[in-house]
């Protein structure tokens, strides 16, 4: 299995200020079959498994029982599977560029997801819908006229769709405006939260904006609302950035160059520090403080995650005393290589 590298779809992503990748996922279930968290009657799912496999014959099959802990952790960092899926997932299916995947036996029987960047979210939905239609022909979905697609958790009932977009929001995050913004977005039925780390400030100032409600709106309406709110957040971030630059030009210039220097010259680096440096350099590029064409924020943020680095350690077969220290050292080595340091 070749999932050791960065997903091909991320390799070709064009960097944009603020907006990163987007994702659409659909939750689907099988008629009259207990949901995955109910232990009894697991065999009721069996007949559907071969039908799903038949319908997804063009996809690469990744059975979970074949994977080691590190392999699973890597798939989580690539967003191909979820942490919950590492525990109870039966099988996932992945397309060639790893932008579309299907999880069987996550919280729902079937989870379809489609990822991409620089593509309209509606198009990502259409890609997921295509898989949905293929599966719909193969198995009988649990669907109710009033409640729509029936899901294990009532927060997904209806469309079963969660559409989200990742945003790099350093200015809103550092200026403290983000909390008020999150509350306002909540009023529209949308959630804004950090994706890495559980602290008050998420790693790399990377946030995810997603719909909270799945009932009473069509898929198209949800996506349109997400698009509009996303544009507003992006605009607010850009405005805040220019205000910060006006008032704190020297401080910004200093921190951007310091971060760049750290990426190029450090010999050990925690995930937190690496994410902070990458975020500051990205901000510096967006503000025109430094010119750095080869900088790939989305790709590098993924490469500095632990499972990716452990994979590199295994490849180089180095001896180390503490795994965490070895990972921190490898992270710095990787960033020196990437940023053209020594």
Positions that interact with another protein (CB under 8 A): 29-35, 37-42, 69, 73, 76-77, 83-84, 86-88, 90, 107, 129, 133, 136, 140-155, 157-159, 161, 189, 197-198, 212-219, 306-307, 323-324, 327
Shortest Å, Cβ 328 to another protein: 10
Sheet strand arrangement including 100-104:
60-63, 91-94, 100-104, 110-116, 19-28, 161-168, 206-211, 190-194
- CA atoms of 35 and 45, how far apart (whole Å): 9
Pick between residue 214 and residue 298 the one whose CB is nearest to another protein. 214
Tell me which long-range contacts 304-308 makes (C-beta under 8 A, separation of at least 24): 304/271, 304/274, 304/275, 304/278, 304/331, 304/334, 304/335, 305/77, 305/271, 306/73, 306/77, 306/271, 307/70, 307/73, 307/74, 307/76, 307/77, 308/6, 308/74, 308/77
Pick between residue 129 and residue 236 the one whose CB is nearest to another protein. 129
Shortest Å, Cβ 177 to another protein: 25
Shortest Å, Cβ 330 to another protein: 13
Shortest Å, Cβ 83 to another protein: 6
Shortest Å, Cβ 59 to another protein: 21
CA-nearest of 65, 59, 60, 30 to 46 is 30
Instruction: Round the CA-based radius of gyration of the chain to a whole number and report it.
Output: 21
| DSSP tag of 198 | S
Shortest Å, Cβ 156 to another protein: 9
- CA atoms of 337 and 18, how far apart (whole Å): 25
Pick between residue 32 and residue 319 the one whose CB is nearest to another protein. 32
Shortest Å, Cβ 147 to another protein: 6
Per the CB < 8 A criterion, the answer to whether 341 and 277 are in contact is no
Helix axis angle for 323-339 and 249-265, nearest 10°, is 110
Pick between residue 37 and residue 318 the one whose CB is nearest to another protein. 37
Pick between residue 100 and residue 287 the one whose CB is nearest to another protein. 100
């Amino acid at each position: 299995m070749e999932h050791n590298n960065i997903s091909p779809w991320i390799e070709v992503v064009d960097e944009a200020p603020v907006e990163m990748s987007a994702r659409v996922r659909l939750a689907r279930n099988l008629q009259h079959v207990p949901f995955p968290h109910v232990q009894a009657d697991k065999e009721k799912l069996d007949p559907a498994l071969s039908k799903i496999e038949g319908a997804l014959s063009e996809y690469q099959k990744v059975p979970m029982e074949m994977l080691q802990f590190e392999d699973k952790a890597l798939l989580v960092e690539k967003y191909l599977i979820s942490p919950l899926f590492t525990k109870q997932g039966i099988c996932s299916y992945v397309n060639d560029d790893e932008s579309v995947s299907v999880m069987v036996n996550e919280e729902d029987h079937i989870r379809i997801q489609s990822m991409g960047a620089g593509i309209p979210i509606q198009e990502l939905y259409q890609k997921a819908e295509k898989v949905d239609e293929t599966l719909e022909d193969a198995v009988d979905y649990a669907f109710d006229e009033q409640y729509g697609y029936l899901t294990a958790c009532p927060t997904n009932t209806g469309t079963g769709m969660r559409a989200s977009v990742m945003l790099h929001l350093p200015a809103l995050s550092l200026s403290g405006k983000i909390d008020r913004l999150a509350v306002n977005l909540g009023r529209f039925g949308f959630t804004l939260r950090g994706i890495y780390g559980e602290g008050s400030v998420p790693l790399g100032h990377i946030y995810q904006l997603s719909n909270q409600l799945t009932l009473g709106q069509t898929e198209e309406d949800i996506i349109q609302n997400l698009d509009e709110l996303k544009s507003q957040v992006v605009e607010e971030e850009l405005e805040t950035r220019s205000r910060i630059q006006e008032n704190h030009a020297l401080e910004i210039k200093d921190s951007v160059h310091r971060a760049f220097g750290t990426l190029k010259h450090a010999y050990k680096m925690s995930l937190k520090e690496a994410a902070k440096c990458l975020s500051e350099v990205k901000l510096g590029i967006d503000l025109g403080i430094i010119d750095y064409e080869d900088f790939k924020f989305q790709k590098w943020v993924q490469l500095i995650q632990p499972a990716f680095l452990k994979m590199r350690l295994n490849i180089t077969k180095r001896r180390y005393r503490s795994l965490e220290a070895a990972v921190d050292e490898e992270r710095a080595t990787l960033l020196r290589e990437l940023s053209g340091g020594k």
